[in-house]
Chain A
Amino acid sequence: MSPEITASLDNNAEANHTSKGICQDCTTAAGEPASGPLPEAATRNACKLCAPLGAAMVYKGIRGCLPFLHGSQGCATYIRRYMISHFREPVDIASSSFSEDDAIYGGARNFKVGIDNVVQQYQPEMIGVATTCLSETIGDHMIGMIKSYQDNCGPDGAPLVHVSTPAYTGTHSDGFFATILAVIKHFVKPEATEQQEKQINVLPSMMSCADLRHLRELCGLYGLDCTLLPDYEATLEGGSWDAYHRISPGGTPIDEIADMGSASATLELGHTQATAKESGGSYLEKHCGVCRHSLAWPLGIRLSDQFFTSLSQISGQKMPAVLSDERARLVDAYVDAHKYVAGKTAVVFGEPDLVIALAAFLSEIGIRPVVCATGSKIKKWEQVLASEIEGGIADVEAIAGADHARLAESARRVTPDFLIGSSKGYPIARELGIPLIRTGFPIHDRIGSQRQLVVGYRGTQQMFDRVVNTILETKQNDSGTGYSYL
Chain B
Amino acid sequence: MPDSTKTLPKEISPVSSVNGTDIGVLTDRTEQVWTKGSGKEFSCDKKSTAGSVTQRACAFCGSRVVLYPIADALHVVHGPIGCAVYNWDIRGSLSSGPQLHRNSFSTDLAEKEVIFGGEKKLKESLIELIQYYKPKAAFVYSTCIVGLIGDDVEAICRSVKKETGIDCLPVDSPGFKGTKKSGYQAACEAAYKLVGTASTDGISKHSINLLGEFNIAGEAWMIRRYFERIGVQVVSTITGDGRVDDLRRCHGASLNLVQCSGSMTHLSHLLEKDHGIPMKRVSFFGFEDTARALYETAEHFGDPEMMRKAEELVREEIGKYVPEIKKYKKQLKGKKAALYVGGAFKAFSLVLALRALGMKTVLAGTQTGNVEDYNQLREICDPGTVIVDDSNPLELAKFVLEKDVDLFIGGVKERPIAYKLGVAFCDHNHERKIPLAGFEGMMHFADEVAKSVLSPVWKFAPRRNRAAGSLMTNA
Question: With A46-B108, A92-B53, A117-B49 known to touch, is A37 a contact of B176 (CB < 8 Å)?
Answer: no
Q: Which of B12, B83, B149 contacts A249 (CB 8 A)?
A: B12
B96-A74 in contact (CB<8A): no
A133-B80 in contact (CB<8A): yes
Q: Which of B133, B401, B415 contacts A244 (CB 8 A)?
A: B401
B18-A117 in contact (CB<8A): no
B23-A244 in contact (CB<8A): yes
B132 → A minimal CB distance (Å): 5
B421 sits at the interface (CB 8 A): yes
Residue of B nearest to A46 (CB): B85
B397 sits at the interface (CB 8 A): yes
Selecting from B71-79, B253-261, B345-353, the interface stretch reads B71-79
A48-B85 in contact (CB<8A): yes
B113 sits at the interface (CB 8 A): yes
Q: How far is the CA of A41 from the CA of B28 in the complex (A)?
A: 45
Residue of A nearest to B72 (CB): A29
A229 sits at the interface (CB 8 A): no
A240-B461 in contact (CB<8A): yes
B126 → A minimal CB distance (Å): 8
Residue of B nearest to A53 (CB): B82
Q: Which of B49, B85, B103, B128 contacts A97 (CB 8 A)?
A: B49
Residues of A within 8 A of B108 (CB): 42-43, 46
B48 → A minimal CB distance (Å): 5
Q: Report A466-486 residues with CB < 8 Å from chain B CB.
A: none
A38-B132 in contact (CB<8A): yes
Q: Which of B55, B144, B444 contacts A71 (CB 8 A)?
A: B144
A134 → B minimal CB distance (Å): 4
Question: With A97-B47, A241-B463 known to touch, is A78 a contact of B105 (CB < 8 Å)?
Answer: no
Question: With A117-B26, A243-B4 known to touch, is A166 a contact of B50 (CB < 8 Å)?
Answer: no
B39 sits at the interface (CB 8 A): no
A103-B148 in contact (CB<8A): yes
Residues of B within 8 A of A40 (CB): 128
Residues of A within 8 A of B144 (CB): 71-72, 98, 103, 132-134, 137
Residues of B within 8 A of A120 (CB): 24, 26-27
Residue of A nearest to B9 (CB): A234
Residues of A within 8 A of B97 (CB): 17, 31
B94-A14 in contact (CB<8A): yes
Q: Report B138-156 residues with CB < 8 Å from chain A CB.
A: 143-145, 147-149
A243-B460 in contact (CB<8A): no
Selecting from B56-64, B267-275, B379-387, the interface stretch reads B56-64
Interface size on A, residues (CB 8 A): 109
Q: Which of B48, B106, B393 contacts A73 (CB 8 A)?
A: B48
Q: Which of A38, A42, A138 contacts B107 (CB 8 A)?
A: A42
B73-A29 in contact (CB<8A): yes
B81-A167 in contact (CB<8A): yes
Residues of A within 8 A of B16 (CB): 64, 122-123, 245-247, 249
B52-A168 in contact (CB<8A): no
B211 → A minimal CB distance (Å): 20
A300 sits at the interface (CB 8 A): no
B110 → A minimal CB distance (Å): 5
Q: Which of B8, B50, B82 contacts A50 (CB 8 A)?
A: B82
Q: Report A246-294 residues with CB < 8 Å from chain B CB.
A: 246-247, 249-250, 253
Q: Quick one: which of A28, A123, A242, A424 has the most chain B CB within 10 A?
A: A242
B57-A77 in contact (CB<8A): yes
A464 → B minimal CB distance (Å): 31
A316 → B minimal CB distance (Å): 26
B442 → A minimal CB distance (Å): 11
> What is the 8 Å Cβ interface bit string for chain B, positions 108-131, against chain A (1 contact, 0 not)?
111101100000010011001101
Residue of A nearest to B447 (CB): A1
Question: With A73-B48, A113-B49 known to touch, is A244 a contact of B17 (CB < 8 Å)?
Answer: yes
B57-A110 in contact (CB<8A): no
Residues of B within 8 A of A73 (CB): 48, 54, 56-58, 175, 179
The 15 sampled A-B contact pairs (Cβ below 8 Å) are A5-B444, A15-B218, A39-B132, A41-B121, A45-B104, A46-B84, A71-B175, A89-B420, A94-B53, A120-B26, A122-B394, A166-B80, A168-B113, A242-B469, A243-B463
Of all A-B residue pairs in the complex, the 6 with the closest CB atoms, nearest first, are A74-B58, A50-B82, A117-B51, A114-B51, A72-B175, A114-B50
A residues sitting closer than 8 Å to B (CB atoms) are 1-2, 5, 8-9, 12, 14-15, 17-18, 22, 24-25, 27-32, 34-46, 48-50, 52-53, 63-64, 68, 71-82, 84-85, 88-100, 102-103, 110-111, 113-118, 120-123, 125, 132-134, 137-138, 166-169, 171, 234, 238, 240-247, 249-250, 253, 405, 424, 427, 444
Assuming A14-B241, A38-B132, A168-B114, what are 4 further A-B pairs, CB within 8 angstroms?
A25-B103, A43-B107, A44-B105, A46-B88
